[in-house]
Structure 1
């Protein structure tokens, strides 16, 4: 009886990783997060990003930038316990450099995330992006959707990011990453 029990336990232990892997394939997590001003420390002369420079009142220097990248990476990696998100929509990212640093120079590198990002006309340089895991989502196409101003007094805003891809089961998925402007002046009566 003891040998039968040991064989059963070994059999269960041997199959557990297979069950976990099978479960991983059936779970497709999507997360969207406003990372609130994920800016690098370099000045972009075409944008109003002065608040996020080393000499600014915020004192946005390399150490703070790297800490924010590490914190964002940690939250993404631990958001879904055992099932790392397949797609992560991010709002309020500054540029390609920020996304490259997040995917290549943070703990997210081990998950193989790639990204697409808009280059919006937003005056502060705010963009939206989508992180995707290549083993879970095959990118087919992406395009920014420009939002036209309602009138001449409206400031340019962030684009909507439209991404199309294939899931591992062959289904096509369209994703829209949006970050609409807030009402800075409140509601007009």
Structure 2
């Protein structure tokens, strides 16, 4: 009897352990600012002279292909070791054109992933765009569009005596002289396996000219982002939406906290709110970009509350991270400890570090 009781207890313990061990599907969603991903060919329609063999950067075909090789290594490894598979979705910024993306996905590291490309040319004055790469095996896009961010340096005052025709002339004049031509916001909708998901890829206006002087531009970008999210939630209140990018602002800046309305604590994110897991990472001293020995998290992935649930019967957020491998960091010189970027001598990686989140779903037996 004693032996039988021991045996029975062992069986029950085994059953209980098996019921507690759950298995999950996992997808890595990533964003990376590629920092000046230009080819070495002069494009008469964009301001890329700096990135040519005779330009200030002495940018050659050899350097270009080394840059592609560097980026491919990073994109293949983001999210490891928790997920052995490369990211399913990759948002990118500072991309010259579609051709450089076609070259990138043909790199030996990335070619087996069979990556698709969604890209539009934007009106940015440097000719740089945002894009989305995706593994065709896991993600099927159903619609995509580029949504312009229309902002101006200042308003042109209107005189009372002007006619409607003159008003139109003023609008044209304002468009030409005062508009800040910046990157569009890329909206992609599709199915992650069998679940609908929406992705917004961003590269908000820079701080060139000063943080305070340019804050209004990024606040406008945050409001446009919120408007896109609101429109998707009107169609489906439970829509799963991820907005990612180089926001050129940190999690606590007004563009993120007010314009977009991001919450930094899961419990504070109500039904139609958005949650920013990178606010906690910033509070712990992490960063994605360094300037004057100070780190900031400008690169973030923010999501609607519909993705922040403890129920993993569908794909939901698990955790976020910054991909910060030693090979991405300079180990000597004036900028020791900073991200390893391009120099006149050789192609680097980027002045930004990539970020990622995991979406997981329980595998039901």
**Could you tell me the TM-score, scaled by structure 2's length?**
0.44
* Alpha-carbon separation, structure 2, partners of 1:64 and 1:128: 22
Correspondent of 2:131 among 123, 126, 129: 129
* Alpha-carbon separation, structure 1, partners of 2:186 and 2:213: 29
Q: CA deviation at 1:68?
A: 0.4
Q: CA deviation at 1:102?
A: 0.5
How well do the aligned residues superpose, as a CA RMSD in angstroms? 1.6
Contact 1:40–1:98 at 8 Å: present in 2 too? Answer: yes
* Alpha-carbon separation, structure 2, partners of 1:102 and 1:175: 21
Residue 191 of structure 2 corresponds to which residue in structure 1? 166
Residue 158 of structure 2 corresponds to which residue in structure 1? none
Correspondent of 1:104 among 103, 106, 112: 106
* Alpha-carbon separation, structure 2, partners of 1:45 and 1:128: 20
Q: CA deviation at 1:106?
A: 4.2
Which SS does the other structure have where 2:104 is aligned? helix
* Alpha-carbon separation, structure 1, partners of 2:145 and 2:110: 24
* Alpha-carbon separation, structure 2, partners of 1:106 and 1:39: 19
Contact 1:69–1:106 at 8 Å: present in 2 too? Answer: no
Residue 156 of structure 1 corresponds to which residue in structure 2? 181
Correspondent of 2:203 among 175, 179, 189: 179
* Alpha-carbon separation, structure 1, partners of 2:108 and 2:126: 25
- Deviations along 1:94-126, one digit per CA (max 9) or x if unpaired, are 101101001124421111111111210111111
* Alpha-carbon separation, structure 2, partners of 1:178 and 1:63: 29
- Deviations along 1:39-93, one digit per CA (max 9) or x if unpaired, are 1111111111111001112110011000000000000101122121000000101
Residue 70 of structure 1 corresponds to which residue in structure 2? 69
Q: Map 1:22-101 to 2 at 5 A.
A: 26-81=25-80, 82-101=84-103
Which SS does the other structure have where 1:66 is aligned? helix
Q: How many residues were matched structurally?
A: 165
Which SS does the other structure have where 2:112 is aligned? helix
Which SS does the other structure have where 2:62 is aligned? helix
* Alpha-carbon separation, structure 1, partners of 2:121 and 2:39: 15
Q: Indicate how the Cα distance of structure 1 residues 43 and 104 shifts in structure 2: closer, same or farther if over 3 A, else same.
A: same
Which range moves more in the overlay, 143-152 or 84-93?
A: 143-152
* Alpha-carbon separation, structure 1, partners of 2:131 and 2:104: 12
| Gap runs ≥5 in structure 2 | 1-22, 155-173, 215-365
Structure (1 or 2) with the larger CA radius of gyration: 2
* Alpha-carbon separation, structure 1, partners of 2:118 and 2:137: 16
* Alpha-carbon separation, structure 2, partners of 1:188 and 1:156: 16
- Deviations along 1:18-49, one digit per CA (max 9) or x if unpaired, are xxxx75xx111100111110011111111111
